[in-house]
Amino acid sequence: MFDRKTFAQMRRAGMGIGISKAKLSEAMLEILLQLPEGTTNLKEVIVANMGLLGQMSATRDINEAWSQTKKKAVKLYPEKFIFDERKTLHWNDGSMEVLDKKISTSNFKKLNAIAETERCSVNTLISKLIKSYENGKK
């Protein structure tokens, strides 16, 4: 029947679907919410479930809509979805732990100053701090 190549040729001939990225994003979000938990390859599954809308859309539009959809999903449904450090969408099933990588500028400066007086790296200083904390807990 039809394949992606045929639809690409149709788009080049001027037969676009004429739908905005925002509408694509809304459709993607609706499909995402209907998927069973634990589904992998979310983007591919969603585009496949979009039917002609997914096949006729340009790849750049799909990619932009997917970026918007991920942000909306994490913002609107934090109990279902979570980002990792590379902004990849994952199910929030408790199997993934989000690491806090933020440190204030003042604390970072203090760490560097202490590391300089101790003549070691910040990483070594933090390792010593963790050991001291663990020994103090016992």
Q: What angle do CA 85, 50, 94 make, to 5 degrees?
A: 30
C-alpha–C-alpha distance, residues 92 and 82, integer Å: 5
Q: How confident is the model at residue 15 (pLDDT cuts 50, 70, 90)?
A: low
User: What pLDDT is attached to residue 2?
Assistant: 62
C-alpha–C-alpha distance, residues 118 and 131, integer Å: 16
| pLDDT tens per residue, range 39-60 | 999 999 999 999 888 888 888 9
> CB under 8 Å to 82, separation ≥6 — which residues?
74, 89, 90, 91, 92, 96, 98
Instruction: List residues bridging with 91 in a β-sheet.
Output: 81
| pLDDT tens per residue, range 62-98 | 999 999 999 999 999 999 999 887 888 989 888 777 7
Q: Is the CB of residue 31 less than 8 Å from the CB of residue 46?
A: yes
The region of weakest confidence among 2-11, 38-47, 64-73, 125-134 is 2-11
Of 13 and 83, the one with more pLDDT: 83
Output the pTM of the full model: 0.64
